[in-house]
Amino acid sequence: MTERVLDVSGLEAGYGQIKVLRGIDLHVDKGEAVVVLGANGAGKTTTLRAICQMISTKGSVKVRGKEMIGRSTPDVVRAGVAHVPQGRGTFPDLSVEDNLEAGAFVRKDKAGVRQDRDLWFSVFPRLGERRAQLAGSLSGGEQQMLAVARAMMSRPELLLLDEPSLGLAPIIVQDLFRRFGEINKQQGVTMLVVEQNASLAFGLADRAYVLEAGQIALSGSAAELREDDAVRKAYLGY
């Protein structure tokens, strides 16, 4: 049996009085790319934030079998989860190089970190050219590359991507998703992607969940869901 990298069950979370997630069950197996679709306000971002323990949660979040509820966000990161937040979340006042260095904060092997940094500079040459520049001065697409590279610097078991296509030109988004595919298939990094752009997401994902009003409404293989009438109408527009 393949390893469950992420196993979420009965996950509830919210902000203050407002309950956003009302019992979510989902799982991601090793090597999979899984996408979570949903309309605005369905709870996609909240799901990722809850997995990372950035908000108070109830239920169960297991990362490689270890319970994360009640642990701190840095603990979740140390367990092997890297989260690229919505809006990219780079360190605007730090250089590109320092951003990557910070991404490897939980690692102890200095030589390996330097190697990985050079690796990501070769994957995204634009970042290499701008290594001494402050991250805040990069363009949106470059910032998204930086955010992904920074997340990968921790050598995660599981990469969480929160609407990576947001606010970027279509051609840049296509290039990014091609990179995500490479990271998933060639480097074997397990992925959980939240996305509104369903056709792009189906291109990347093995399986998909559809989130509606804080609950999983549908789940299945990407191929199945792509053909589902409701999904097609709601997210693909035909």
Residues of the shown chain interacting with other proteins in the complex, contacts defined by CB under 8 A: 52, 54, 72-74, 77-78, 82-83, 85, 89-94, 98, 101-103, 105-106, 134, 136-140, 143, 150, 154
Q: Tell me how far, at minimum, the Cβ of 135 lies from other proteins, in Å.
A: 8
Q: Tell me how far, at minimum, the Cβ of 2 lies from other proteins, in Å.
A: 26
Q: What span, in angstroms and rounded, lies between the C-alpha atoms of 95 and 67?
A: 35
Q: Tell me how far, at minimum, the Cβ of 77 lies from other proteins, in Å.
A: 4
Q: Tell me how far, at minimum, the Cβ of 151 lies from other proteins, in Å.
A: 8
- In degrees and rounded to multiples of 5, residue 21 shows phi and psi of -100, 130
Nearer to other proteins by Cβ, of 70 and 136: the residue is 136
The continuous run of DSSP H or E covering 23 comes out as strand 18-29
Nearer to other proteins by Cβ, of 90 and 190: the residue is 90
Q: What span, in angstroms and rounded, lies between the C-alpha atoms of 221 and 234?
A: 17
Q: Tell me how far, at minimum, the Cβ of 105 lies from other proteins, in Å.
A: 5
Q: Tell me how far, at minimum, the Cβ of 14 lies from other proteins, in Å.
A: 17
Tokens at residue 39, please? 């309309």
Measured at the CA of 177, the angle between CA 115 and CA 98, to 5 degrees, comes to 35
β-strands 66-67, 57-63: how paired? antiparallel
Nearest residue to 149 (alpha-carbon basis) of 135, 169, 133: 135
Tokens at residue 96, please? 């590109």
Taking CB atoms within 8 Å and a gap of at least 24, the contacts of 115-122 are 116/152, 116/153, 116/155, 117/153, 120/149, 120/152, 120/153
Q: Tell me how far, at minimum, the Cβ of 52 lies from other proteins, in Å.
A: 7
Nearer to other proteins by Cβ, of 16 and 237: the residue is 16
Nearer to other proteins by Cβ, of 24 and 52: the residue is 52
Cβ atoms within 10 Å of 21's Cβ, excluding its own: 25
CB 155 within 8 A of CB 120: no
Nearer to other proteins by Cβ, of 86 and 215: the residue is 86
Tokens at residue 150, please? 């920074």
Nearer to other proteins by Cβ, of 103 and 214: the residue is 103
Nearer to other proteins by Cβ, of 24 and 82: the residue is 82
